[in-house]
Structure 1
Amino acid sequence: MSVSSPTGPTGSAAASGPHAPPGSVRWALAGLAGAMLLSSLGTSVAQVALPTLAEAFGASFPAVQWVVLGYLLAVTSLLVAAGRLGDLVGRRRLMLGGLAVFTGASLLCGLAPGLWALVAARVAQGVGAAVMMALTMALVGGTVPKERTGSAMGLLGTVSAVGTALGPSLGGLLVTGLGWRAVFLLNVPLAAATWAIVRRQLPADHPHPTTASTIRFDHAGTAVLAATLTAYALAMTLGGGPSTTLNLALLTAAALGALLFVRIEARTAAPLLRPALLRRPGLGAGLTTSALVSTVMMTTLVVGPFHLSGALGLSAAVSGPAMSTGPAVAALTGIPAGRLVDRLGAPAMTRLGLAVMATGCAALAVLPASSGVPGYLAPLAATTAGYALFQTANNAGVMADVDSDQRGTVSGVLGLSRNLGLVTGTSVMGAVFAYAVGTGDLATAPPADVAAGTRTVFAVAAALSAAALLVAASATRRERPGRA
C-alpha cells in the first residue's frame, strides 16, 4: 500500500528528518512512550476521582462526568486536525507544543477553584493529549529504522495498556492519600520530563523556509469535523439511548455534519483529509478493522464487571484484580508482538491477531457460567493477546508506506478510528448486553440472565472480529502483485 499525495513546499517541511543516531533511538522512544503514557493516564486516572469531586464541589454525578467527557471530546474531535497540523508545521515542534499545553493544563486542573474551571482545564488537557496521540506514531517513522518499526509500535502499545491499567489504581491511591488534586498535579513533573526528552532526543523537523502563504490549513473542514465528532461522541455517551429525542438529534447532527464535511473536502484546495486517501485498500482496511476491534475490546470493559459480580458472584475486592487481567496481558504481549511483526510482516500478524480475537470471543460466547472464573479469564486473556498483536501489526502496516508529508494526518485518522470504536462500543455493546439480560437494572438481574447476556454480547463481538478478519484478508488479496 502506498499512500501518495501532492508534494509541495509544506510537505517538505513536514517530512521526517533523518533517523536519530543509534545511541539516541532508545531515548527518543522513551520520549514518545512518555507521551503515550500521559495521554492514556489522562483518560483513565480521573474516573476513580469522580465521587470525591462530586463531594468536594457539592455537584451531581452528571455534572462531574464532564471532567471525563470534556477530555474525551477534546481528544476525539481534534485528533485528525492535530495530525494534519503536524504535517504542515513540523511534528516535533507541534509535539513539544502539545506537551507544553498538557503540562500547563494539568497544573490548572490541580489548582482549579471550582468544578467548571476544572472541566475547562480538562478540555485544554485533552487538546494537548490529542496532539500527543496523533503524532506519537507518526514520529516513529522519522526516529526508528524501518526494520524495527514493529518493535517500536509494540512498545507504544505496551505503554498504552500500562497507562490504561495503572490509571484507576494509581488514581485511587492518590485520591485516598493526597486528595483529588494530586491526580492531576502528578502529570506536571512527568510531562515536563517528557518534554525535555523529546526536545533533546527527537530529530529536528526537516528545515524548509515557509511562509503564511505556503501553509494552508483547512479551517472550515476542521471546524465541521470537530463539531460532527463531538455530536457523535455525545450521542454515544450522554444521549440516553437510541430512542431518546436528544440521542436522535445528536445522531442527526452528526450525519449532516459528515455529509457537509465530505462536501467541503471535495471542494477545498488544501483539504484536511483527502477523500482519495481513504480509498486506498490497505489504509481503508486498517481504519475499518481498528474501529471494529476497538468496539470489541470495549465489550470486555463494559460487560466484565457485571459478569464477574452478577454471574460469578465475586466481590469488588476480587473483581478488580480479575479485571486487570486484560490490560496486564496486553502489556506483556506488546513488545513480543512487535518483534513478531518485524520478523513475519504486518499483514500476516494482523490476520493472526484477529483470528485469535475471534476465537477468544467465540469461547466466551459458548462457555457456561459453571466454568467459573478460569472459564472467563482464559478466553479473555486470549482475546486481549490477539488484540495486542493486531494493534501492533495494524499500526505498523498502516504507517509503513505512508508518504512522509501525510504521516501525521494518517496517524491522527488511525487514532480517531480507535477512539470512535471505543465510544461506540461503550454505548452499542452496553445496549446489546442490557437487552440480552432483559432488564435495565443490571445490578439486580438474576445470575443466569447476566450469564446469558454475556454470551450474547460476546457472540456479537466474535462476529465483529470475524468481519474485521475478512476485511483484512480481502485487503491483503487486493494488494498482492497482479491483483486489482
Structure 2
Amino acid sequence: MHSTTATSAPSERTTGSKWALASLALATLLASLGTSIANVGLPTLVDAFGARFQDVQWVVLAYLLAITTLSVGAGRLGDLLGRRRLLLAGLLVFSGASALCGLAPSLGWLIGARVLQGLGAATMMTLAMALIGETVPREKTGSAMGLLGTLSAIGTALGPSLGGLLLAGPGWRALFLVNLPLGLLAFALAWRHLPRQPRNADAAAHFDSPGTLLLALTLTAYALAMTLGRGHFGALNGGLLLAACLGGSLFIQFEKRTASPLLRLAMFRDPLLRTGLATGALVTTVLMATLVVGPFYLAGALQLTPARVGLAMACGPLVTALMGVPAGSLVDRLGAAPMVRVGLMGMALAITALLLMPLSLGVLGYILPLTGLTAGYALFQAANNTAVMAGVEATQRGVASGLLNLSRNLGLVTGAAALGAVFAFATASDDISRAAPEAIAAGMRGTFLVALGLILLALVIALAGRRR
C-alpha cells in the first residue's frame, strides 16, 4: 500500500510538470503567432477599411511596440505579484483583446486592441520563460528552453500559411478570433497545472510605475526612430533617437534614487547577465538580415517566383523549430556556456559559407548556409537563455526574462533598420526593386559581411564573459 503511494507520486508530479510546460509552450506559440499571422492580412485590411497601407501597418507595429516596451515591466510585476498569477492575467488579456480585434468596427479600434493584445503577449512571453525554473527540474532546463524556442519558431512559420487559409475562408476577422479558444485552453492548462505561489499583499505598492512608464516611453522613441521612414533616416528619426537617449539617461538616474527600482542596476555587474544580453541583441540583429535581405536576394538575384521565395524563406523557421528541443538536450548534457560558443561559431561558419557561395549555385547556395545559420541560432538561443536564467536569483527571474526578451526585440528592430541601410548602400541603387541581379548579390554579400563581424564580436564577448 505504501509502496504504491510512493511510486505514484513522482509519476503524478511528472505528468503535472509536462502539462504545466505545455501551458507555457502554448502561451509562447500564441504570442509569436500574433505577429506573423497579422502580416499576411495587411493587404486585405487596406481594402476592408479603405485605408492607406502606411496606416494599416500600425496593426503590426502597435503589437510589436507593446511587446518591446512592456516586457521588462511585466517581468518585474510578475516577480512582485506572482508569476503564475500574472501569466494567467496575461492570457486573459490576450484572449479578450483577440476577441476585440476580431470584432473591430474601425481601423483605430483594431490598432488599439492590438496594443492590448501586445500587452498580453509581453506578459506571456516573459513569464513563460521565467516560470521554467519553477516547472521543470534544473537538469531539464535546457530542453524546456529549447521547447519554447521551437514553439516560437512554429508560431512564426505557421502564421503566413494559417493566415492565408483563414483569409480565403472566414475572412480577416478570423486572423484574430482564432487566438480566443487557444488562449482559453492555455489559461485552463496554466490554472490547473502551474504551481501556486504565496500572495504578497504589499507587493503592488513596491512596483516602480514611474520608472516603468519612463522606460516604455524611451523604448517607444527608439523603436519608432528605427522603423519610421522605411529606411530613410530624417529629422523625425533623429529627434526620436535623441529623445530615446535622453529618456535612457533620465531612467538610469531615476532608478539610482528610487527605493524599489524596476531594474536593480547592480544586476548588470553580473558578467553572465551582461554577456547574455549583449550577445542576444547582436545575434538577433544578424538574424534580421535573413528577413530583410532574403526576399530581395531570392526574387531579384535568383529570379524566384513569389511562391518559391516564400518556401525558401520558410526554411529558417522550420530548421529553428526542428532544432529547438535537440539543442536544449545538448545544453543539458554539455553545459550552457560551451553551447553558446558552439552556436556562435556555427553561425559564423554558415555566414562565411554564404559569402563564398557562387551565384551560379542558385537557391541551394542560399538555403544550405541559411540552414546552418538558423541551426546555430537555435543552439545559441537555448544555451544563452538557460545560462542567464540559471544565474539570476529566484526573485529576479521575471525581470531577467523581460530583459532577455527586450534584448531580442531591440536586436530585431535595430537589425531591420541598420542592416537594411547597409543592404541599400552595398547595392548602390536608389530603387532596390529595380536593381540588377549582380547589384543585389553584391548588396547581400556586403550585408552579411557586416553580419559576420557582429557574430564574431558576439563570440569575443562570450569568451571574455566566460573568463570573467
- Same fold per superposition (TM over 0.5): yes
- Does the alignment pair 1:156 with 2:148? yes
Q: 1:481 corresponds to which residue? A: none
Matching of residue 260 in structure 1 with residue 245 in structure 2: no
Contact 2:81 2:200 in 1 (8 A): no
- Counterparts of 1:409 and 1:336, CA distance in 2: 27
Is this contact kept in 2: 1:82–1:134, CA < 8 A? Answer: yes
1:368 and 1:451 in contact (8 A); partners too:
no
CA RMSD of aligned residues (A): 1.4
Give the aligned partner of residue 27 of structure 2.
35
Q: Give the Cα separation in 2 of the matches to 1:243 and 1:411.
A: 32
| Aligned-residue offset at 1:30 | 0.5
Percent identical? 60
Query: Quick one: which amino acid aligns to residue 99 of structure 2?
Result: L
Measured against aligned partners, the alpha-carbon deviations of 1:13-60 in whole angstroms (never above 9, x if no partner) come to xxxxxxx92221110110000000000001111001000000010000
Matched, 1:139 2:131: yes
Residue 109 of structure 2 corresponds to residue 113 of structure 1? no
CA distance in 2, matches of 1:215, 1:148: 35
Q: Give a deviation string over 1:354-382, Cα, whole Å, max 9, x none.
A: 00001111221232211211111111100
The answer to whether residue 445 in structure 2 is matched with residue 469 in structure 1 is: no
- Which residue number in structure 1 is paired with residue 201 of structure 2? 210
Please give the alpha-carbon distance, in whole angstroms, between the structure 2 residues aligned to 1:429 and 1:118. Answer: 31
Q: CA deviation at 1:239?
A: 4.0
Quick check: 2:36–2:159 contact (8 Å CA) kept in 1?
Answer: yes
Q: Is the 8 A contact 1:239 1:250 kept in 2?
A: no
Matched, 1:321 2:311: yes
Determine the structure 1 residue equivalent to 2:57: 65
How many equivalent pairs are there?
459
- 1:423-469 deviations in Å (ceiling 9; x for gaps): 11111111100111112311110000000001110111111111101
Residue 342 of structure 2, aligned match among 352, 356, 361:
352
**2:417 corresponding residue in structure 1:** 427
Kindly provide the amino acid, as one letter, of the partner of residue 97 in structure 2. Answer: A
How far, CA to CA, are the matches of 2:219 and 2:346 in structure 1?
31
What amino acid is the match of 2:44?
T
The structure 1 segments of at least 4 consecutive aligned residues displaced by more than 6 Å after TM superposition are none
Give a deviation string over 1:272-329, Cα, whole Å, max 9, x none.
Answer: 0111111210100000000000000000011111111111111111111111111111
Query: Which is further off, 358-367 or 317-326?
Result: 358-367
Write the letter of the residue equivalent to 2:157. A
**Structure 2 contact 336–386 (Cα < 8 Å) conserved:** yes
Tell me which amino acid in the other structure corresponds to 2:401. Answer: S
Q: Distance in 2 between matches of 1:140 and 1:269?
A: 29
CA distance in 2, matches of 1:45, 1:281: 37
1:227-247 superposed Cα distances (whole Å, 9 cap, x missing partner): 000001111111444640110
The corresponding residue for 1:12 is none
CA distance in 1 between counterparts of 2:162 and 2:71 reads 26
Structure 2 match to 1:166 = 158
Partner of 2:74: 82
Could you report, residue by residue, the CA deviation over 1:188-222 in whole angstroms, capped at 9, with x for unpaired residues?
000000000000010001x155336x740111111
The answer (yes or no) to whether the contact 2:41–2:172 under 8 Å persists in 1 is yes
Q: How does 1:386-465 map to 2 (within 5 A)?
A: 386-465=376-455
Distance of 1:86 and 1:203 partners within structure 2: 14
Q: Which secondary structure state, in structure 1, belongs to the residue aligned with residue 300 of structure 2?
A: helix
What amino acid is the match of 2:30? L
Tell me if structure 2 keeps the 8 A contact 1:52–1:180.
yes
Question: Which residue of structure 2 lines up, in the alignment, with residue 16 of structure 1?
Answer: none
For 1:376 and 1:164, the matched residues in 2 are separated by 20
The residue number in structure 1 matching 2:5 is none
CA contact (8 A) 2:231 2:420 kept: no
> Which residue number corresponds to residue 288 of structure 1?
278
User: Does the 8 Å contact 1:240/1:246 carry over to 2?
Assistant: no
1:130 equivalenced with 2:122 (yes/no): yes
The amino acid across from 1:50 in the alignment is: L
Q: TM-score, normalised by structure 2?
A: 0.96
Q: How far apart, CA to CA, are the structure 1 residues paired with 2:63 and 2:447?
A: 28
Q: 1:289 to 1:32 in 2, by over 3 A?
A: same
Amino acid at match of 1:460: V
1:193 partner amino acid: L
Shift of 1:86: 0.1
Distance 1:242 1:362 in 2: 29
In 1, Cα distance between equivalents of 2:424 and 2:299:
15
Contact 1:365 1:457 in 2 (8 A): no
Q: Secondary structure at the match of 2:134?
A: coil
The alpha-carbon deviation at position 173 of structure 1 amounts to: 1.3
SS in 1 for 2:181: helix
Between 1:22-31 and 1:234-243, the stretch displaced more is 234-243
Q: Supply the distance in 1 between the matched residues of 2:315 and 2:355 (Cα, whole angstroms).
A: 19
- In structure 1, distance between residues paired with 2:42 and 2:319: 27
In 2, distance between residues paired with 1:104 and 1:209? 26
Rounded Cα–Cα distance in structure 1 between residues aligned with 2:223 and 2:391: 31
Task: Tell me the distance in 2 between the aligned counterparts of 1:412 and 1:348.
Answer: 24
Q: Higher helix proportion, which one? A: 2
TM-score normalised by the chain length of structure 1 = 0.93
Moved more, 419-428 or 240-249: 240-249
Task: Say if 2:260 is the partner of 1:270.
Answer: yes
Distance in 2, Cα, partners of 1:208 & 1:230:
32
